[in-house]
Structure 1
Amino acid sequence: MTDTTYHAASTELPHFDDDPFGPELLEDPHPFHARLRDSGPVAYLERYGVFALGRYEQVRAALSDWQSFISGAGVGLANFRTETPWRPPSLLLEADPPHHDAPRAVLTSVLSSRALRGLRDQWFADPESLVDDLVKRGGELDAVSELAEVFPLRVFPDAVGLAKDGRENLLPYGSHAFNAFGPRNALVQDGEATIGAVAEWIGEQCARDRLAPGGFGEQIWRAADRGDITAEQAPLIVRSLLTAGVDTTVNGISAVLSALARNPEQYELMRRRPELIRVAFDEAVRFESPVQTFFRVAEQDVSLGGTVIPAGSKVLMFLGSANRDPRRWVQPDRFDLQRDPSGHVGFGMGIHQCAGQHIARLEAEALLTALVRRVRRIELTGTPRRKHNNTLRSWGYLPLRLTEA
């Protein structure tokens, strides 16, 4: 497609000058998402020169069509074909077949249903004492720092095989990694001041001799011994596991706690019907979309929603918008445990969907199970504060009271 055709096509599209990575939209993206969806299936963001997808149908289609919308050129704003990434690209998130296939197969095997069943008893016992201590202390807490962060930072690094010391580095590393998918704004620049030492620590933990026997990390290295992957790939796969395995779970747990506190009738329903605990987490992921956006690159000219997206174009998919698209969901702005949230794109879709989503679900199920057994009511005691991130929708502070059952 020629430049002339491209410009003609782009001017026929709805154009937006909004900054989806600016403080105002990071604080509350929903009005912009509604305007984006209502404008049509495809739009153009002038500020960044990228195509934008806000409707469920087109977001799901782009996520699923890895041949047309590739990840190997970067899933952030930066185009790896013309720009140097700040760290070696992920072999899972930022690679396409055939390079993506072996690392994905290894990680899928390591995180199998059988492996998670082996962790279930331990993971369900851990939050019982955590919740019990919080209730005995009076039940008032910051649910982010005292619950949503504490539990995943205990059980997940244990499962990977990390040593106890230094685990506090996991959250700032993940936060910077997700910030770096956006533009180099103040959020990225603030992280750059300290990311060097944090990234060095992360890299050291991915080495074979730093990982405890029997953990996910050692199993990845065993796959290298078998020849399923190379020895050079093994630490990068461990790094991908550490990057995505904590922040997204912390934000997902924070999202479900916030939603249950704001909708006490839904928490009461979950207490009466514990089988809805699993639904609650997925509904929170749909409702809140802890991962808000991801980019792809059009590998060739692609027709989508009546628009031809030229080869080489960056495409920004708004997962948070798709998950509240009224064309797909009835009353999408309502947190409702009686809906079926399956099909949401909060964990992605297709070959690049989150490999650790079942871990996140298991952690959330364990924590919510402990809560419904010990806590009669969850309620807000103050004004929550957002923590802005270019990719993640996060709570920085979530004051709650847990009333003993």
Structure 2
Amino acid sequence: MTTTAPAIPTVDVDPFSHEVLADPLPVQAALRDAGPVAWIPRYDLYAVARYDEVRATLVDWQRFPSSAGVGLSNFRYEEPWRPPSLLLEADPPHHDAPRAVLAPILSPRALRRLRERWCGDADDLVAGLLDGAGDTVELDAVAALAEAFPLRVFPDAVGLPTEGREHLLPYGDHAFNAFGPANDLVAKGAPRVAELSAWVASQCARDVLTDDGFGAAIWAASDRGDITPAQAPLIVRSLLTAGVDTTVHGLGACLYALASNPGQWDRLRARPDLARVAFDEAVRWESPVQTFFRTADVDVPISGAVVPEGHKILMLLGAANRDPRHWDDPDTFDLARDPSGHVGFGMGLHQCVGQHVARLEAEALLGALARRVERLELAGEPERHHNNTLRAWGSLPMRLHVR
């Protein structure tokens, strides 16, 4: 007796429309409720939005490889706009050496040397905003905190020169937009692509970098023969592409969550050791990285349905991180929760190698704020920044009540 795979439901939505980017939760719920796999006809792609299926797809690099691109574009048929990432857009064996080099450089143990300095930098940043300002301070938390702190500490850690760092955010914004369709968001960044790409490429050269940062450690690995000299600048580029915007938007999500949930801010002030939990819970709750793609290498069954060979599959990380089939009360931001299973940093072989860097930045900044600020509150209507891949705040008007 033969069995037929169940029909895959059609959900006619545009996950990259401005309406959905402004509020993705209804479409995420619709895709979860449609079934374990759905077909989105306008892009001829398959989508998984439930936690179990998203996680299973992320870890199955053999049948859902990344080397055909982690965006909508299929590198088997389309020329990528830049040389593919050796980490994000490669699979074993090509992925192995770059990952093996970068993982220890960005490991929690290696980052211990930065902790005291970053905590001091965070204290200095917060003091500069609060000292002499009175009992309350109003600011845009995106520009003054979520952007300012990573742009202060991360480029130093990589070993970049001071000049030109303002290019990092628009370059990263375009890179993440380019994972989606060729819509108006991609067109908006297109005029500066050549300029920004040239600047980023120039910063990856050995002689531009300081001799004590992440970049120098990557070049030292090429001297040892662990990677080739041609691979070294591409690995440095991966840091510059994915190491700023994602952390900025993670911090923005965390600040918004804490301002919107004053009881959770009180809990963090009472227990500063919860800073990393707060950051991971914000990454689960808001999912700064909303989506990634893989490509079916063969006909792949998922929960009884079959994704055909060669087709793109959209993994909705944000939907998985709020799936009530996996999380209790998923729409609530709660520091009593263990958020460690979230897929906001991916999962499996291609899981974000820089996640420990982001957590340390969050720990430093949230700790500095908790020591000085009694209460956070929104002081106006926040504004979203639209990106094909990222869920981001463009502006967070906030009032800080100083202790």
Q: Is this contact kept in 1: 2:5–2:304, CA < 8 A? A: no
2:323 partner SS: coil
Match among 357, 360, 372 for residue 359 of structure 1: 357
How far residue 81 of structure 1 moved from its aligned partner, in angstroms, is 0.3
In structure 2, the partner of 1:98 is: 93
Q: Which of 123, 129, 142 in structure 2 is aligned with 1:128?
A: 123
1:255 paired residue number: 253
Whether the 8 Å CA contact 1:135–1:403 is kept in 2: the answer is no
Which TM-score applies when normalising by structure 2? 0.97
Secondary structure, aligned partner of 1:15: coil
1:400 pairs with 2:395? no
Show the 5 A alignment for 1:234-249. 234-249=232-247
SS of 1:121's equivalent? helix
2:227: which partner in 1?
A: 229
Alignment of 1:103-182 (within 5 A): 103-136=98-131, 137=133, 138-182=136-180
Distance 2:349 2:110 in 1: 21
Q: Give the SS at the match of 1:294.
A: strand
**2:269 alignment partner in structure 1:** 271
Q: Which amino acid aligns with 1:186?
A: D
- Pairing partner for 2:290 from 289, 292, 315: 292
After superposition, the CA RMSD in angstroms is 1.0
Does the 8 A contact of 2:290 with 2:316 survive in 1?
yes
Matched, 1:38 2:33: yes
Which of 73, 79, 82 is 1:78 aligned to? 73
State the number of aligned residues.
Answer: 397
- Give the CA deviation at 1:113: 2.4
What CA deviation, in whole Å up to 9, does each residue of 1:40-98 have, x standing for no partner?
A: 10000001000000000000000011101100000000000000000000000000000
Please give the alpha-carbon distance, in whole angstroms, between the structure 1 residues aligned to 2:242 and 2:5.
37
> Is there any run of 5+ residues in structure 1 with no aligned partner, and where?
1-7
Cα distance in 2, alignment partners of residues 135 and 188 from structure 1: 38
Runs of 4 or more consecutive aligned structure 1 residues displaced over 4 Å after TM superposition: none
3-state DSSP of counterpart to 2:42: coil
- Aligned match of 1:377: 375
| 1:60 pairs with 2:58 | no
- Partner SS, residue 182 of structure 2: coil
Between the aligned partners of 2:107 and 2:266, the Cα distance in structure 1 is 33
SS in 2 for 1:47: helix
Distance 2:401 2:108 in 1: 34
Between the aligned partners of 1:384 and 1:36, the Cα distance in structure 2 is 27
8 Å Cα contact 2:11/2:34 also seen in 1: no
Secondary structure of the 1:221 match is helix
Matched, 1:202 2:194: no
What CA distance in whole angstroms lies between the structure 2 residues aligned with 1:89 and 1:9? 35
C-alpha deviations, 1:265-321, integer Å up to 9, x for none?
110011112221111000000000000000000111111111011111100000000
Distance in structure 1 (CA, Å) of the matches to 2:5 and 2:382: 43
Residues 1:326 and 2:321 are matched in the alignment = no
Kindly provide the amino acid, as one letter, of the partner of residue 375 in structure 1: V
* Alpha-carbon distance in structure 2 between the residues aligned to 1:31 and 1:185: 22
Q: Identity percentage over the alignment?
A: 65
Match of 1:27 in 2: 22
The TM-score with structure 1 as length reference comes to 0.97
CA gap 1:397/1:349 in 2 versus in 1, 3 angstroms: same
- Quote the residue 1:305 is aligned against: 303
Q: CA deviation at 1:9?
A: 6.6
Q: Which runs of 5+ in 2 are unaligned?
A: none
Distance in 2 of aligned mates of 1:9 and 1:28: 33
Q: Which of 46, 54, 62 in structure 2 is aligned with 1:51?
A: 46
For 2:85, the aligned partner's letter is: S
Q: What is the aligned partner in structure 2 of residue 5 from structure 1?
A: none
On the 8 A contact 1:148/1:251 being kept in 2, the answer is: yes
